[in-house]
Amino acid sequence: MSRKYQLLAPKQRWSAREANNRLNIWHGSVRSGKTVATIHRFIKFIGNSPDGDLLLAWKTIDSLKRNVIGPLLDLLGRDAHYMPGRRELKIWDKIVYTVGASDERSEGKIRGSTLAGAYGDELTLWPESFFKMMLSRMSLEGAQFFGTTNTDNPNHWLKKEYIDRKNTLNLSLFHFKLEDNPFLPMSYVEALRKEYVGLWYKRFILGHWCVAEGAIFDFFDATKHVLQQYPEAVYYDVGIDYGTTNPCVFILFGCNPFGKPKIWAEREYYYDPVKRARQQTDVEFSKDFKAFTAPVANKIRNIYCDPSAESFQLQLKRDGVVGLRDAENEVLDGIRTVARMLQNGEFAIYKDCVNYINEMYSYAWNPKKQIVGQDVPLKVNDHCQDTGRYVIYSKYGSGSQYDISKFVN
């Protein structure tokens, strides 16, 4: 076994030692060492688990490979072997099945199985139906679950139905803060503290369960985040939020990977069919798009488009537009990425993009959704927000520029 297996901080070691109940959940801030502690505890469990199926679950298989399977293989070396075609991981003589828990249909993937144990991460992103189905399948004597999550809305089902009922359930609960991970460089910790603001600072840095309410970008300040002049772009990207009965928006983003800001909204096209008293066709929007991008057409690299706008993408291709990409459309992750880059000075908006600037002030959380534990923006005057998120999250949302996989955490 790799020597890295022994590199645990005191709180990680303590939590791994004390996680002996049927349910064992680590929660708290980002990068606080929750996942590593849980992986080590799960490895120990595998060595002594009851005979039966074992399960690894994450929101998506790709994130599971990156965040769990990779570290497991690194820790165990020849004792572990991953078979991606079968989505199985063999550890010693045990088979561990891997499953993505992305939507309500996911629970069907484990229905009928009999589980001896399970490991899961990103629990607040799971459908409740998947979590309950998993627990119902853990019917063998000695079956245990080990899972982690960042903190979220206090009305979330995981908080209300499980964490808040710790004293009545067979549950071990461990709360982690950023300072519980001593392996992170101080420069990285300080950068994280500056990057997250407001709601995200409370959740991801302090590890608090708190409600998202009011303005989403409540920290937005025109003196800091609005450019009176924009720098020279190395290249351009474009975002498209397509609409026929709703506004159709194109935003041109200047990009300079080595500058600050490294990306900025430079020009916007905003067609509101209600105000214009006329809907446009795909052909007309395509003509407008080509005119909008013509001054810098030879410097455009990527055009991130609403993934559902298939007919408009087809029309653009017919008209010779190249560089079209389906945008990544994770709303909450996208909002966090935009907020982080605004706060860092990596993203700004030029003063002429008046619709985008106005939406920065009016973009708000839906109070009705908060009651049921969901963080959902109000779908009102959000078309520039969607357009900007498509570009910024598609380019910078993977976290690769903040990759700390080389550190033990």
Question: pLDDT-derived band of residue 7, with 50, 70 and 90 as boundaries?
Answer: confident
CATH at 322: 3.30.420.280
CATH at 122: 3.40.50.300
Residue count (the chain): 409
- Of 161, 184, 207, the one marking the end of a domain is 184
Give the separation between CA 133 and CA 299, rounded to whole angstroms.
51
Q: Is residue 209 part of a domain?
A: no
Least confident span in 66-75, 230-239, 269-278, 362-371: 66-75
Q: Is the pLDDT of residue 43 over 60?
A: yes
- Of 137, 155, 184, the one marking the end of a domain is 184
Same domain? For 316 and 175 the reply is: no
Tell me what percent of the residues of the chain surpass a pLDDT of 90.
75
Q: Report the pLDDT value the prediction gives residue 398, as an integer from 0 to 100.
A: 59
Q: Which amino acid is at 173?
A: L
The CA-atom distances, in angstroms, between 300 and each of 51, 294, 306, 384, 385 are 57, 10, 18, 19, 21
Tell me what percent of the residues of the chain surpass a pLDDT of 70.
96
Q: Report the pLDDT value the prediction gives residue 5, as an integer from 0 to 100.
A: 44
Same domain? For 281 and 343 the reply is: yes
User: How many structural domains comprise the chain?
Assistant: 2
**Three-state DSSP state, 387:** helix
pTM (two decimals): 0.82
Question: pLDDT-derived band of residue 347, with 50, 70 and 90 as boundaries?
Answer: very high
Same domain? For 166 and 298 the reply is: no
Give the separation between CA 202 and CA 136, rounded to whole angstroms.
33
Q: Range of 264's domain? A: 222-401
